[in-house]
Structure 1
């Protein structure tokens, strides 16, 4: 499914399947891989599981970057193959380097994402917002012209991302969502790392309930 804008930029989504492993446990997961671009160039947000499917979706376009919302293995396990096939740089916040190193101990991301950084592709700006909590280096990518935010595993349809595992923290993720995401317009579409999309307006009223639960 693609969303078009007057400047020809669009959002494409493919769902890939694999596993997520952390703290000695493993789970089967389906991941959203997001592609933002036009007919000439694009970026991939989270290269998960299936490099062949990702490369097929990119097609003949120039892949200008592989942008990572965080470095849990289910979000980066296809990065090496996509990078090798396209030569695209890989951008990750340095706070998640220890998670990256568990998957790719012999190589490094191409550059670090920084809060407030703006990435340009196909006439669209993607603003990096550092949103720690699910992981220390988690980020979201806000695209005002497309009316959307790519939230990774920071905010889902139904509440915050999980914080019960290593390197995560519930008060931190609540602070990130409150200060970096709920400040967006209510009709902003939240395109998540797993599952269905939602909106900022739909999720904001639920935050107090999550705070009351405290997990």
Structure 2
């Protein structure tokens, strides 16, 4: 039986891969190029996390992540009419992946014996850096560097995770609430145009 954190990892991989493939299609990439963007989006943040934790990158130990990214490409090809044309498709899948991957990063870092503040940083890297690498590949300004609440949504989810741990909330519920809080923070920030002020240089 798949545990909750593994399920988050797989669903997050699928969601993030779709978000990358969706943007690659808008740039008219071919199938292989779109797949590469999807894979990088799905495993990029987790790879950086594992390197920093001195662990073998997770996708090098298990083929399933590359397979799931391939299924994401197949999903986009089959439902291209709906996925590619809907403007909010990218945002929905990206927000889902962001929340799930933030929790995966936090959980794995805690398993390695690091303190919670490190886990929050690693959760943010896991959630946000795959999207950053995706945007670089498709020649877009990374979301993480814009005014949008993106990486900060992962930090918020990490703080929720920490509060739940302090309150002795059951682990599965803690992980679920944390992932949902990231998703909600991202959606609310976009819906109500909540953002940090831009840092302005000399005029």
TM-score (norm 2): 0.30
Higher strand share: 1
Higher helix share: 2
Higher relative contact order (CA 8 A, sep 6+): 2
